[in-house]
Amino acid sequence: MPLHDLAEWIRHIALFTAVRESRLIYPIILSTHLSCIGVFGGLILVTDLRLLGLVLTRYSIASVVSQLRPWKWAGFLLMISMGILLAGSKANIYFDNPYFVMKISTLLLIGVHFLIFRKAVYRDETEIRDNQPRSSGIAKLAGATSLALWITVVAMGRWIAYYDRPDSAYLTAPLQQTTTLTVASTHLTNVRPD
């Protein structure tokens, strides 16, 4: 099944149709998505600042990570759920949006980041055993890359609304990756974030 047919099929699932067609539900879900990024993103920020050795340095990385972990997961799951509802309801305009693709790719990279640094940083057995707070070079690297990845997610998320898809290319080449940014020239009249 071509990708744009799949996107159309997803968009017409009853749940996504209901979200899209409600004047109130869609902005409420979008606001909840943003609030989750804020409230729970802060927990990620604190973790990253600790990894960089900038806050809570009296406490071990392991304890900061383990205390915030369940809340970060709860926030992440809520944020992802809202994100799926938003993306599914407008799948036909998201699937070939390069900023959406970059956002999802960056989220996947965050998963890879966790796998790479899990043993050496997030669950550093030596630090847990010694109970000695420290911020090694690799912990700082993990913090800096995590921060950069999350900022990219937020930036790409915002930029999704500014992608101007060439409609003719949409009909003939669903995987068109051309990026056209037409923002300030139009934002005075018709900015409507999706």
Nearer to another protein, 56 or 169 (CB): 56
23 part of the interface to another protein, by CB under 8 A: yes
Q: Which stretch binds another protein (CB under 8 A): 14-22, 105-113, 137-145, 177-185?
A: 177-185
Nearer to another protein, 19 or 68 (CB): 68
Among 12, 15, 22, 38, binds another protein (CB under 8 A): 38
Asked whether the beta carbons of 47 and 122 are under 8 A apart, the reply is no
Among 6, 35, 53, 140, binds another protein (CB under 8 A): 35
Among 31, 105, 126, 177, binds another protein (CB under 8 A): 31
Residues within window 58-87 making contact with another protein, judged by CB under 8 A: 59, 64, 67-68, 71
Which of these, 186, 162, 147, lies nearest to 51 by C-alpha position? 147
Among 30, 120, 128, 149, binds another protein (CB under 8 A): 30
Nearer to another protein, 88 or 157 (CB): 157
Taking the CA atoms of 175, 176, 180 and 183 in sequence, report the sign of the dihedral they define: negative
Nearer to another protein, 166 or 175 (CB): 166
Question: Shortest gap between Cβ of 110 and another protein (angstroms)?
Answer: 15
Helix, strand, coil shares of the chain as percentages rounded to 5?
A: 75, 0, 25
What 3-state DSSP class applies to 150?
A: helix
In angstroms, the CA 110 to CA 145 distance is 9
Q: Which two three-digit tokens encode residue 60?
A: 């071990």
Give the CA dihedral 118, 120, 126, 127, nearest 10 degrees: -70
Taking the CA atoms of 94, 29, 181 and 150 in sequence, report the sign of the dihedral they define: negative
- List interacting residues with another protein (CB under 8 A): 23, 26-28, 30-31, 34-35, 37-46, 49, 55-56, 59, 64, 67-68, 71, 151, 154-155, 158-159, 162, 181-185, 187-188, 191-193
